[in-house]
Amino acid sequence: MLKTRHISIIRSMGVLLFMLTFQTTAQAAGSDLISMLTDQLGVSTEQAAGGSGAIFDYAKDNLSADDFSTIAKGVPDMDGLLSAAPTGESSSALGKASSMLGGSDSSLGGLASLASSFESLGLDADMVQKFVPLVSDYVGSVSGDQAMALLKGLF
């Protein structure tokens, strides 16, 4: 009886260890994008997460659910990145104004709508143009060329 109990406890600990390892591995993979952005652009972790989240949030709002799913499928912790994106009236108002000027199909409209989000992160608007190619290339490496093309097509 005692032996069966120990085996059960050991089995439970093994399952718990496996789950923690899996979660840590997924988070580490998600941090690859953040590490790349902080290293190459000299931004903080919060700025990297918020900026990439803003790009993904823009993609989510301007692509079909299937197309966004193509982008998101390989990106670890997409929900965390989306939640790191700045929110507020100024960015949605600018997004509406840019839609009136060029719509979501216009690269100028897409970049302009992200500028407000980046500014709320303490980043200059020109950082959008530095983030987009890096995030797009990352998406291509984890989700494939079609996903990269979908994201680049927005800008």
Q: What pLDDT, in 10s, does the model give residues 62-99?
A: 999 999 999 999 999 999 999 999 986 444 444 444 44
CA distance 140 to 81: 17
Report yes or no on 123 lying in a domain: yes
Report yes or no on 57 lying in a domain: yes
The closest alpha carbon to 82, from 97, 60, 66, 67, belongs to 60
Q: What is the largest CA-CA distance in the chain?
A: 74
Q: Is the pLDDT of residue 138 over 50?
A: yes
Domain span at residue 112?
31-153
CA distance 100 to 104: 9
Report yes or no on 25 lying in a domain: no
Report the sign of the C-alpha dihedral through residues 67, 97, 155, 136, in that order: negative
| Mean pLDDT for the stretch of residues 101-110 | 53
CA angle 69, 72, 77 (to 5 degrees): 135
75 secondary structure, DSSP code? S
| Mean pLDDT for the stretch of residues 9-18 | 50
Report yes or no on 138 lying in a domain: yes
Report yes or no on 4 lying in a domain: no
Whole-model pTM: value is 0.71
Report yes or no on 5 lying in a domain: no
pLDDT at 112: 82
CA distance 8 to 29: 32
Report yes or no on 55 lying in a domain: yes
